[in-house]
């Protein structure tokens, strides 16, 4: 039986040692990073090998938001705008913003499905707020929760139309965080009334198949534990108050926000009521040890995992990429050929 973990891959080719590890430990799903993405043919072969290693058609995740978080990147794949682009477009023409955002997610979904990837850690529904950490920044749409909610809905629908399941992040909203959870543990001191505004985009998208919980302390809800390890946040805030019954997974548990041994991280995550632990960096030995701390999927968590896997089947009719791009360019001025020469910022963090 699959264990409740999404685990990473070290490189572009599945090693014999990794194959043996995954066959023995049976992680529920995998996630790819830039280090594992070189060419379409290589990614297709890697995805096939990963599924073969566990003997089933498991989900394979990636972070493909557009902007600075895009694992399939130039020069092979076109770069697409960060979500803040649509927040600006919304101010001038909300209808065009909705259509263009949907098209971007259809285009991204098609890119992913073409190489064998069927789950995307997107869209980002955090608010874009002044004074917050750059870790979210232009990855967020807007400071207007209603705008974020609507564009989140069309983004999810766009991915689904291409056969890709989306993941809402970062529940219950970390747009106010002044620190980057990749480097330290943020604390948000806002009241519950204020936090309800941050939660609004997630409430509006609670039919999504999956959500990702960040490593942030929300003092008004639980002044001690970060959201990813807090039953008050998971059970009372997200499950009960919000009513979300999709699959809940953690953000990467190797982030520096969590200064604990792996066995403690895993225990606290599952005690809080989260369905899936995600670990994205480490040696083969570290991955092996972590997988042994993850329980088999069972009960409600297994039901949610099954629903997530069935959420976005391969489309019966393929989308026409030329038509998608033509309309996208018409709405935004963003041309496919132009984006091929845009490279990621070499100074940005490796996680971005």
Write out the catalytic residue numbers.
182, 251
Q: What is the DSSP letter of 295?
A: P
* Three-state secondary-structure class, residue 142: coil
H runs (alpha helix) in 190-245? 192-204, 231
Q: Tell me the C-alpha distance between 293 and 303, whole Å.
A: 21
Whether the Cβ atoms of residue 4 and residue 301 lie closer than 8 Å to each other: yes
Q: Tell me the C-alpha distance between 89 and 78, whole Å.
A: 20
Q: Tell me the C-alpha distance between 218 and 181, whole Å.
A: 13
Q: Tell me the C-alpha distance between 170 and 49, whole Å.
A: 30
Q: Tell me the C-alpha distance between 17 and 234, whole Å.
A: 35
Q: What's the distance, CA 242 to chain centroid?
A: 19
């Amino acid at each position: 039986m699959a264990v409740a973990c999404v685990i990473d891959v070290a490189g572009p080719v599945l090693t014999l040692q990794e194959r043996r590890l995954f066959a023995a430990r049976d992680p529920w799903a995998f996630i790819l990073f830039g280090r594992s993405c070189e060419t379409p043919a290589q990614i297709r072969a890697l995805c096939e090998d990963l599924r073969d290693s566990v003997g089933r058609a498991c989900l394979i995740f990636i972070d493909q938001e557009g902007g600075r978080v895009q694992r399939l990147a130039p020069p092979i794949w076109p770069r697409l705008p960060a979500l803040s682009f649509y927040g600006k477009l919304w101010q001038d023409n909300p209808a065009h913003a909705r259509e263009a955002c949907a098209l971007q997610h259809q285009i991204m979904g098609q890119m992913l499905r073409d190489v064998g990837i069927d789950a995307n850690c997107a869209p980002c529904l955090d608010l874009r707020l002044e004074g917050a950490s750059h870790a979210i920044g232009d990855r967020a749409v807007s400071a207007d929760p209603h705008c974020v909610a609507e564009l989140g809905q069309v983004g999810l629908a766009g991915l689904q139309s291409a056969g890709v399941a989306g993941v809402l992040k970062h529940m219950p909203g970390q747009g106010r965080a002044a620190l980057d959870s990749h480097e330290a543990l943020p604390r948000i001191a806002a009241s519950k009334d204020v936090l309800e505004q941050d939660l609004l985009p997630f409430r509006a998208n609670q039919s999504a198949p999956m959500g990702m919980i960040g490593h942030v302390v929300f003092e008004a809800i639980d002044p001690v534990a970060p959201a990813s390890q807090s039953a008050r946040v998971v059970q009372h805030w997200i499950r009960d108050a919000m009513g979300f019954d999709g699959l809940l997974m953690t953000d990467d548990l190797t982030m520096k926000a969590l200064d604990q041994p792996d066995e403690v991280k895993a225990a606290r995550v599952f005690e809080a009521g989260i369905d899936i632990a995600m670990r994205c960096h480490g040696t083969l030995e570290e991955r092996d040890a972590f997988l042994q701390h993850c329980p088999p999927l069972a009960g409600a968590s297994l039901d949610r995992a099954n629903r997530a896997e069935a959420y976005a089947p391969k489309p019966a009719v393929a989308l026409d990429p030329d038509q998608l791009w033509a309309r996208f360019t018409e709405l935004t001025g963003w041309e496919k050929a132009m984006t091929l020469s845009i490279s990621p910022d070499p100074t940005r963090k490796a996680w971005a």
